[in-house]
Amino acid sequence: MTIKEVSEKYDISQDTLRYYERVGMIPPVTRTASGIRDYQEEDIKLVELAKCMRSAGLPVETMIEYVKLTLLIFLS
């Protein structure tokens, strides 16, 4: 999915999605040969999680730490 499609589907601005990626709330999204973000299923799941955690009031810093810890577990 493109960033536009994800933005529309989850009612999150494209700037917010870029911010989530930049600060580490979601890992870097794969890109096409032309550099366009191409959200895969695992990226979408993390966007859903980020949206859920934000709506629950979790601070961004907590979410970043959670994603780092989760990725460490999956990479081990």
pLDDT tens by residue, 2-61: 999 999 999 999 999 999 999 988 889 999 999 999 999 989 998 998 899 889 999 989
Instruction: Write the CATH number of the domain with boundaries 3-75.
Output: 1.10.1660.10
Tell me which residue of 64, 76, 54 sits closest to 27, measured CA to CA. Answer: 64
What is the reported pLDDT for 9? 96
Tell me which residue has tokens 């870029």: 18
What is the reported pLDDT for 44? 93
Tokens of 15: 């700037």
5 or 70, which is more confident?
A: 5
**Which residue intervals of the chain are DSSP H helices?**
3-10, 14-23, 41-55, 60-75
40 or 74, which is more confident?
A: 40
Cβ burial 29-41 (10 Å sphere, 16+ → b, else e): beeeeeeebebee
pTM recorded for the entire structure: 0.84
Judge whether 16 and 4 are in contact, CB under 8 Å: no
What is the reported pLDDT for 76? 64
